[in-house]
Structure 1
Amino acid sequence: MYYFIVNKMAGNGKGLRMWKETKKLLKGKSVAYQVSYTDYAGHAGEIMGNIDENLVHAVVVVGGDGTIHEVINKIIYKKVVLGIIPAGSGNDMARSLGVPFDVAGALDRILKGSYKQLDVPRVGAEYYISIAGLGFDGKVAEVTNQSKLKRALNKVGLGGLSYVLNIFRVLFTYQPSDVSIEVDGSLYKFEDVWLIAIANLPYYGGGIMICPAAKGNDGVLDICVVSGIGRWELLFVFPLAFIGKHIRHRKVTMLRGTTINVCADASMVLQCDGEIVQQSRASFSIKEKALMVF
């Protein structure tokens, strides 16, 4: 049986519209399924806690990266496969995995039954699947999650643009920090750090390819550090990140590792898959091939 977890409010109502389309297709294909709807933040995780893995073959999220993030933190303990029907603002996990953005294409991928095993990173007690970001991008994610603009843009299918617009909003007030990063026992020190992205998959922020070499099943995490750069120069570098060319810039450092410790001289906002989880010091590790996903 397939178990669908539907965030009706994902993408400002897009989740409900996509579920209605999904339900019609399921009926036509005579697929056995059960469905639950999320009513508040954290509800998807609670639903997952009540799922019997002996009766459920796959859990399918109709929602965005935030809902997927909640499910991943529970599904990692269960022997079920994850399916995605992208219905959020950014849909970066679906983008990284090549999941079709239309319902018919995404559902067909799920029902064909072919899946891959992905690594799952962990920061503190929190698992994530795409990217954790500290500093500037964490602050942008925090502002975006609170933004009325995001809801307005979702109505016209441009929710991912809200992240880009909030970059300009945060740019002129954000204060960089000095940061020490330990990667597999080697210590790196950076001054005036704008952001640190620790990636399992390449995309975040609605299509920004911050770590283009991240694969999700190679057993390591890719790290992007942007430091010692002026505000106006950062504006020049930022557009290059949509095509992964920013990594050639002299102020961008790329690292790779399996065990990562970050320590900043000031509090830094930390986001995982776009969800704000904690601040300041952070320790990262990776659980290899811990998630099955269509």
Structure 2
Amino acid sequence: MYHIIVNKMAGNGKGLRMWKEVEKYLEKKNVTYLVSFTEYAGHAGELIENIEENLVQAVVVVGGDGTIHEVVNKLVHKKVALGIVPAGSGNDLARSLGVPFAVEGALSRILKGSYQLIDVPKVEEVHYISIAGLGFDCKVAEVTNRSRSKRLLNKLGLGGLSYVLNIFRVLFTYQPSDVSIAVDEKIYKFQDVWLIAVANLPYYGGGIMICPDACGNDGALDICVVSGIGRWELLFVFPLAFRGKHIKHRNVKMLRGASIKISPSSSMVMQCDGEIVQNKKADFSVDENALKIF
């Protein structure tokens, strides 16, 4: 049996529209399923808190990366696999894994039953699947999640652009920090750090390839640090990140490791899979092959 988790409000109503397509497809294929609808933040995780591993073959999320983030935290090290029908604004996990954005393609992939094992990073007690970040990009994510422009652009099918627009809102007020980063116990020090991305997979922010070489089954995390750069030059570097070309810039440092500890000189906002988290520490590790995913 498949347990379908639907966030009707994902993508400003896209979740509900896609669920109707999903329902028709599953009925046509005579697939046995249970469906649950989320009603508030955190509800997706609650709905599968006590999932019966011997009864449920997969949890299928019809929603965005935020809903997936909640579900991932309940499926780590479980026999139950994760399936995705992308219905959010950014859909970066689907983009990284090559999951079709169309309902029929996404469901066909799931119903074939061929899953892969993927690493799941952890920062303190919070798991995530794609990318965690600290600094400027997190402030942008925080502003984007509560912005009117996101809702408007979602209606137009351009939800990913809301992140880009809010970069300009945050750019001229954000204050960078000095940061020490321990990667597998080797210490790196950076001044005037704008952002740090700790990636299991390449994409975040609605198509930004921040860590182009990140691979979800190599037991390591890729780290992108942007530091010592002026505001106007950051605007020049940013568009390069959509194609992963920013990594050659002199103010961008790429690192890789399995154990990462980040110590900023001042408080930095942190996000995991686009969701703001309130961790006091930024200590990262990797649970290898911890999640089954279609």
TM-score by length of 2: 0.99
Whole-angstrom distance in 2 between the partners of 1:187 and 1:138: 23
Whole-angstrom distance in 1 between the partners of 2:281 and 2:105: 41
Whole-angstrom distance in 1 between the partners of 2:61 and 2:215: 22
1:286 aligns with 2:289: no
Deviation by residue 1:47-83 (Cα, 9 ceiling, x = unmatched): 0103211110010000000000000000114210100
Give the superposed CA RMSD. 0.7
Deviation by residue 1:19-55 (Cα, 9 ceiling, x = unmatched): 0000001111000001000000000000010321111
Residue 279 and residue 57 in structure 1: after superposition, are their counterparts in 2 closer, same or farther (change >3 A)?
closer
Matched residue, 2:54: 54
Counterparts of residues 57-72 of structure 1 (less than 5 Å)? 57-72=57-72
8 Å CA contact 1:63, 1:88 repeated in 2: yes
Counterpart residue identity of residue 214, structure 2? A
8 Å CA contact 2:77, 2:291 repeated in 1: no
Whole-angstrom distance in 1 between the partners of 2:74 and 2:281: 24
Whole-angstrom distance in 1 between the partners of 2:70 and 2:280: 22
8 Å CA contact 2:140, 2:166 repeated in 1: yes
Unaligned runs of 5+ in 1: none
Matched residue, 1:273: 273
8 Å CA contact 1:61, 1:83 repeated in 2: yes
Whole-angstrom distance in 1 between the partners of 2:279 and 2:149: 25
8 Å CA contact 1:61, 1:85 repeated in 2: yes
Matched residue, 2:148: 148
8 Å CA contact 1:268, 1:280 repeated in 2: no
TM-score by length of 1: 0.99
Matched residue, 2:93: 93
8 Å CA contact 1:10, 1:87 repeated in 2: yes
Counterpart residue identity of residue 134, structure 2? L
Q: Which moved more, 1:74-83 or 1:182-191?
A: 74-83
Aligned residue pairs total 294
8 Å CA contact 1:90, 1:206 repeated in 2: yes
> Aligned residues: percent identity?
76
8 Å CA contact 1:269, 1:280 repeated in 2: no
Matched residue, 2:198: 198
Counterpart residue identity of residue 184, structure 1? D
Matched residue, 1:225: 225
Counterparts of residues 76-225 of structure 1 (less than 5 Å)? 76-225=76-225
- Give the C-alpha shift of residue 166 in structure 1: 0.4
Aligned to 1:49, the other structure's residue is in SS state coil
Unaligned runs of 5+ in 2: none
Matched residue, 1:234: 234
Whole-angstrom distance in 2 between the partners of 1:260 and 1:161: 31
- Give the C-alpha shift of residue 278 in structure 1: 1.9
- Give the C-alpha shift of residue 185 in structure 1: 0.6
Counterpart residue identity of residue 78, structure 2? K
8 Å CA contact 1:85, 1:107 repeated in 2: yes
